[in-house]
Chains A and B, each alone.
Chain A
Amino acid sequence: MLLNVHLVRAAWFVCAPLLLGQAARVEFNRDIRPILSDRCFNCHGPDATVKGIKLRLDSEAGMLADLGGRAAVVPGQAEKSEMLKRITAEKAAVRMPPVHTGIKLSDREIELLRQWIAEGAVFQKHWSLAPPSRPDPPPVKLAIWPKNAIDHFVLARLERDGWKPSPEADKAALIRRVSLDLTGLPPTPAEIDAFLNDSSPNAYEKAVDRLLASPRYGERMAVRWLEAARYADTNGYQTDAERSMWRWRDWVIHAFNRNLPFDQFTIDQIAGDLLPNPTRDQIIATGFNRNHRGNGEGGIIPEEYLVEYVADRVETMSTVFLGTTMGCARCHNHKYDPFTQKDYYQLFAYFNNIAERGRYFKYGNTPPVTPAPTPEQEAKLEEIERQVAAAERRFRALEEPSRLEQAKWEKSLAGAASVNWAVSRGLAAHVPLGRKQFDGQQFHNAGKLAEFGFYSPFTISAWIHPQAPTGAIVTRAKDVLEETGILLMMQDGKMQLNLALRWLDDALRVETEKSVPLNEWHHVMATYDGSRVAEGIHIFLDGKEQPLKIILDELNQDFRVNEPWRIGGGGGPELRYKGLIDEVRIYSRTLSGSEAELLALRQPLNRTASAPANERSKAEQAKLRLAFLEEHAEAEIRGAWKEWRDLVEKRDKLVAGLPTVMVMQEIEKPRDAYLLIRGAYDKPGEKVGRNVPASLHPLTSGVPGNRLALAKWLVDRANPLTARVIANRFWVMYFGIGLVKTVEDFGAQGDWPSHPDLLDWLATEFLGSGWDVKALQKTIVMSATYRQTSRVTPELAQKDPENRLLARGPRVRLSAEMVRDQALAVSGLLVEKIGGPSVKPYQPAGLWKELSGADYHRDKGEDLYRRSLYTFWKRTAPPPAMMNFDASSRETCIVRENRTNTPLQALNLMNDVTYLEAARKMAERMMREGGSEPAGRIAFGFRLATARHPKPNEAGLLADSFRNQLDYYQTDREAALKFLSQGDSPRDEKLDASELAAYAAVASLILNLDETVTKQ
């Protein structure tokens, strides 16, 4: 089952001769290279020498080389050419390709090779490796047809075979086509009417300009880019938990909408971080290279995955910008194209210089990350900064009088009884204990006072007087050795902080290099900043920060436990503490080093105050000052101080809560890169530097050899590939198939362009316009080629089933996200909000849970009706309705669009709540906006989805269908109510339920029409 039709489309070889045309002369690139590449290069290609094979057929020199009195090719003399002798040899042992390979040459292919040699064996460099020239649009006979240069190329090709273009599509079809293509949404009835009623000669152009200026345009363009850039909302391996890259998605949408030139679009994404004074946006853009999957599974070998991430970057960049299958050169020289394995690892060397870990965090973003506030958050941040500054000014104004008042207070203090103070901001728990003695058996249960997890900053402070070198001091952990939780403890005299979910592979352990002396009092303080890495931990002894040894840095998941805080215990009987503990304080923030100093002061305030000011230490001064400002100053000063600190805290919280994006960020000393033998992470060979493949244009001289140079090289005018590859992919968005059909492969194994000159014209046009993306889209949709009707005559269907020659307009099923977005749009449910975090619309219950335990909790309200590019994308359980309609799975870079036609799609459109709710809301619109008669209402609904009025026979059929459904729902009102109960949106109670159900059934039928899910 799951039928197939696409193979029919794929089977274009029947029209290959048609593409080849009647040209008598054989051309190497078009006719010969594909044969050699597919049948011979595996042994006699770029990788031949490495294998010890002398004959190479991928270069002219190789083909003509004298190999002991023989040459594979003797120009003009087919019979003397060894190649021809061998491919036609009778004896199997001599014949090429060898029998055991199963590879064969057809008679026609042999004949082509013979003819090519006979005609002089003219070799050509592979077409895509030579920079595009600027061809003149060829002359055509039907001179009135072309609207721009595109049409000259298309028509000239058609006329060569005596074909004619199709007439222009009618206006309704045209406005729907171009609206879907440029914005991903169908036109509204008002937009259709405006276009139909506009009889000015540039009516179409006006519509195109309006669509290009719509914010919906950026969303439409972003979808394909997201697929190419393997954007997703989860990490992709094992647990496949959430990450946060949506600010990068926002950047892409915005970049298309503001028509960022494609060269800058490229540079920002590949190397925005390396630009001089990069903007926040330019740093966010580098998320492109961090969208790959990241493995946080316990027990993986980090080095192995570090290599995978870098390889993914190389391969994605090569596919997206260069249309080359660079991944083939990871394990050996490329078999078909002129890329060596060394070339591959020289590219690799551009991408392995960021401070990333091989084992990604299971949950959330893995460094390097950048805070990525939304514009609203930026505004809020600016506002609060202003407030902080104002509050500081208010406090400073009171500074002078406050000093005087403090001096008076200090004097009064000097004679007073014991007064003390400790840092109080963020204090979550204080356990005074009173110098409690622990005997190595018992512990103090301090209760569940404060809970900290993976992302929570915290500080633990205590006075200790240890009498044994090992023992737990303050813990919130299971009372079992090496189990889950937080443990501040001593181990063999060293102070240790442990954060663990599971030993040994999901735990963090750092310890001081120096030991804590036994049998004397010391102050100890440990802080964790919520960054999930060992670097985020600091330990202070007597107010001094201690050098730390990182023993384990593999923390990966939350370590919360349902256990009390224990003092002197936790982590099992083995860790019971022996000695004294006093004044335990737990803070829900990261205290600073200077605060550690304050906490480590033994002297009570009254004693400090009694000493002359010049004999007090800086810390003592600070302690007095803070104690005064927080507790003893008069109300106005205290208030001003508190207001300022509260605002600072508020700002810090806001900053901590900002969304982040994983980005590229160079480490100072580049990591070494090696050619990996057979691609294996643990088999480094020759050391390599950064460089671009020798078979392509060189880097601009004199620039530093970093990623920025590579980015500029990608969009260098001398680059033969990027402009062609990108123009070709844009073309696919309109025609459903590329001028080069293998959009991901412009190499020897790729397809020959159907219109080489047109491709070059588009590429040079794109370059010449300064990489103006919108201008290129406009050029394509303004062409007469694009505007043709997509009706297929049997003759056309037979001769050119894939429409490679473009004698008709495009007819392509809508892409996955368009199918849904259209239904939301025509029903009026669509929420046109741009950007933001991903949303979770309807999806059958339990789909996540049955795979991984975490459940999918769908959203409510407007997040159910956002455009599909905002749908939360879990890589290991992607949205089923998207996958049913051929969305790419976002595991790796995919640039080829696929369209299948399956029964699962039929079931999806008929029975998914998304489409049933849309049908109901569409029916309400039909009843409210379509007049009072069934015929008018049905026509209105039909037009919402197809942009045209139904023809009489269609109207008759639909009316009949409506009457039938109406009969049923009028006799069974209960059924009507049930049918109308789909989805969260409220039903319009003013409308008769039976009638509405019948219209909803018709609306559902309309949403299921082939025409509705097709751009035609």
Chain B
Amino acid sequence: MSDPRILELTRRHFFGRTASGVGMAALASLLGEEAKGAWMAPHFAPTAKRVIYLFMSGGPSQMELFDYKPMLEKLRGTNLPDSVRMGQRLTGMTATQASFPVVESLFKFSRHGQSGAWASELAPHTAKVIDRLCFIKSMHTEAINHDPAVTFFQTGFQLAGRPSIGSWLAYGLGSENKDLPAFIVMISTTGKGDQPLYDRLWGSGFLPTKYQGVKFRSAGEPVLYLSNPEGMPDKGRRRFLDDLAKMNQLELEEFGDPEIATRITQYEMAYRMQTSVPELTDFSKEPERTFELYGPDARKPGTFAANCLLARRMAERGVRFIQLFHRGWDHHNNLPENIVKVSQETDQPAAALVEDLHERGLLDDTLVVWGGEFGRTVYCQGKLTPKDYGRDHHPRCFTIWMAGGGVKPGLTYGATDDFCYNITGNPVHVHDLHATILRMLGIDHTKLTYKFQGRYFRLTDIHGSVVKDVLA
């Protein structure tokens, strides 16, 4: 930025437009300033500065994990009463089933901690940190199939095309770190990939593409194209960048287009990322205690455990929205066998993340969310045998948990009926969850908008209300 007039121009344009405060952080970075200082909460005092969202893709069964339904033991094998189902639509996979025999969890439940919250034997580590968690047992959604349901959780709309929650936050809040993206996504490579994921789940929709999530990969380079090619040492790259900057500077002087100045700063930032990302993914300085906490898998890149540890390291560095995807929860059949495996992969690392954040004093302003795109049916899909059963998709009630960032620890919110089929109290819709997450970050969900095709779009569309009861 050689020409002070251009700098001044840029600044004025920016602040002139952003009466809402949205996007200031991005400008601050552009100007090479610390983003932290420039940003002020636009609507409320935030209780969370960042979010770690553990997305359990496929739809974990609430009945096997957290939503204890003792009555089902007696009702095993009986047909789901019409009075409970009330004619609700089913997926095309079971709609033509001749009967809908209910089946109880094969896994034992007990109460844990001061709060006495229920958890099954599938979640022993989660049980240990249960007093830091807030369960919502009355989540519900509209979609009954994976693609639209995950898309709905990620963007507030079932069809592709809208910005993801992380990109809304990158747009609204910018980054706390000038060397790392504001929105990072990680996918476990070890989870059974029973359901595909899509780049658009962290895409920016109609927001400019710079707000899209950056996928960190466990194999190859963590960020695409991050490393210099062989035969181009760092010293050579530094010289390359210096020469490039000088050339671009000459062009700026001649053409005067502020875009050229921006290009120069982007190359500098690319260079900084080349250092900051490897530093971020280097676990060699983590003490032994870390691996005891997260489990030995944390040493294996691509595991959920390693990604949870990375998430903590990102949180420490101020990444705004960190999202982990772990697949393998789509248990249409062989549920008892499969859920054990996926629970073992996820239980300890998720609990460790909460504990670790707490120990480091980060849990206070980091919100952790755990949950899938829908729940599972009380009735059996396929053959019901003494040791085996399956469950179909169930959007009408399911359980998620949250921790830190201003949620009430030790709370269990919302309730379901004895069949775990319908909500009996305090329903929380996906839009409500979004509104609540935004509220914790200091944003009024009705005011984080972007004009597209003549309309002011929001993450929560025209819906959503903050679930104040779960806020501390």
**A positions within 8 Å CB-CB of B:** 1-8, 10-11, 13-14, 102, 236-240, 293, 295, 297-302, 308, 319, 325, 327-328, 335-337, 359, 504-505, 554, 742, 744-745, 747-750, 790-794, 797-798, 801, 811, 813, 844-846, 850-853, 875-878, 880, 883-884, 886, 889, 891-892, 898, 900-908, 910-913, 916, 951, 953-954, 957-958, 960-961, 964-965, 968, 974-982, 997, 1001, 1004-1005, 1008-1011, 1014, 1016
Contacts and interface: CB of A to CB of B under 8 A. Distances in A.
B295 to A, nearest CB: 22
Contact of A3 (B29, B180, B231): B29
B17 A10 contact: yes
27 contacts: A3-B26, A3-B29, A4-B23, A5-B10, A11-B13, A11-B16, A11-B17, A299-B93, A299-B145, A325-B455, A328-B454, A335-B455, A337-B454, A504-B92, A745-B453, A791-B254, A793-B256, A845-B219, A852-B193, A875-B198, A904-B270, A958-B243, A974-B231, A979-B230, A1005-B240, A1009-B247, A1011-B251
B385 interface: no
Contacts of A319: 453
Interface in B262-289: 262-267, 269-270, 273-274
In this complex, the member of B96, B210, B232 whose beta carbon has the largest number of chain A beta carbons within 10 angstroms is B210
B345 interface: no
Contact of B182 (A1, A298, A308): A1
Nearest to A960: B243
B99 to A, nearest CB: 14
Contact of A298 (B13, B92, B230, B446): B92
B332 to A, nearest CB: 9
A790 B237 CA distance: 31
A803 to B, nearest CB: 10
Interface stretch (B63-71, B121-129, B131-139, B171-179): B171-179
B334 to A, nearest CB: 14
Interface stretch (B220-228, B363-371, B398-406, B419-427): B220-228
B93 A298 contact: yes
B176 to A, nearest CB: 10
A884 B209 CA distance: 8
A63 B260 CA distance: 49
A747 B454 CA distance: 8
Interface in B238-270: 239-240, 243-244, 246-248, 250-251, 254-260, 262-267, 269-270
B5 interface: yes
A1010 B267 CA distance: 11
Contacts of A1014: 259
Contacts of B91: 298-301, 505
Nearest to B214: A904
B221 A1016 contact: no
Interface residues of B, number: 105
A911 B255 contact: no
Nearest to B18: A7
A912 B225 CA distance: 6
A891 B251 CA distance: 37
Contacts of B140: none
Given A505-B93, A853-B196, A908-B225, 11 more contacts: A1-B179, A238-B145, A747-B454, A749-B455, A794-B9, A852-B193, A876-B200, A900-B208, A907-B223, A958-B247, A981-B231
A902 B255 CA distance: 20
A1008 B91 CA distance: 51
Closest 7 CB pairs of A and B: A979-B231, A749-B454, A299-B91, A978-B231, A852-B196, A876-B198, A906-B270
B393 interface: yes
Nearest to B267: A906
Nearest to A502: B93
Contact of B269 (A300, A878, A903): A903
B147 A4 contact: no
B403 to A, nearest CB: 27
Interface string B185-221: 0010100010111111001000011111010010111
Given A2-B211, A308-B159, A877-B198, A1001 B240 contact: yes
Contacts of A5: 10, 30, 258-259, 262
Nearest to B233: A975
B225 A911 contact: yes
A793 B257 CA distance: 9
Nearest to A876: B198
Given A891-B161, A907-B226, A797 B236 contact: no
A794 B93 contact: no
A212 B267 CA distance: 36
A102 B266 contact: no
B302 to A, nearest CB: 9
Contacts of A884: 209, 224
Contacts of A745: 453-454
A880 B231 contact: no
Contacts of A297: 145-147
Contacts of A852: 193, 196-197
B27 interface: yes
Contacts of B54: none
Contact of B263 (A749, A965, A1010): A1010
A336 B455 CA distance: 9
B144 interface: yes
Given A8-B258, A902-B210, A301 B89 contact: yes
Given A852-B197, A957-B243, A791 B181 contact: no
A977 B231 contact: yes
B118 interface: no
A911 B182 contact: no
Given A853-B196, A979-B229, A1 B259 contact: no
Given A7-B17, A505-B92, A954 B257 contact: no
A4 B160 contact: no
Contacts of B9: 794, 797-798, 801
A653 to B, nearest CB: 34
Contacts of A905: 266
A877 B199 contact: yes
B337 to A, nearest CB: 17
A361 B279 CA distance: 45
Nearest to A845: B220
A910 B175 CA distance: 24
Given A102-B447, A293-B160, A891-B161, A4 B210 contact: yes
A968 B434 CA distance: 54
Contacts of A958: 243, 247
B351 interface: no
Nearest to B176: A1
Contacts of A504: 92-93, 96-97
B6 interface: yes
A2 B182 contact: yes
Given A900-B210, A954-B247, A850 B259 contact: no
Contact of A792 (B193, B250, B255): B255
Contacts of A1004: 240
Nearest to A744: B453
Nearest to A887: B209
B322 interface: no
B100 interface: no
A1015 to B, nearest CB: 12
Nearest to B175: A1
In this complex, the member of A2, A297, A960 whose beta carbon has the largest number of chain B beta carbons within 10 angstroms is A2
A794 B161 CA distance: 38
A891 B392 CA distance: 28
Nearest to A957: B246
Contacts of B237: 910
B13 A851 contact: no
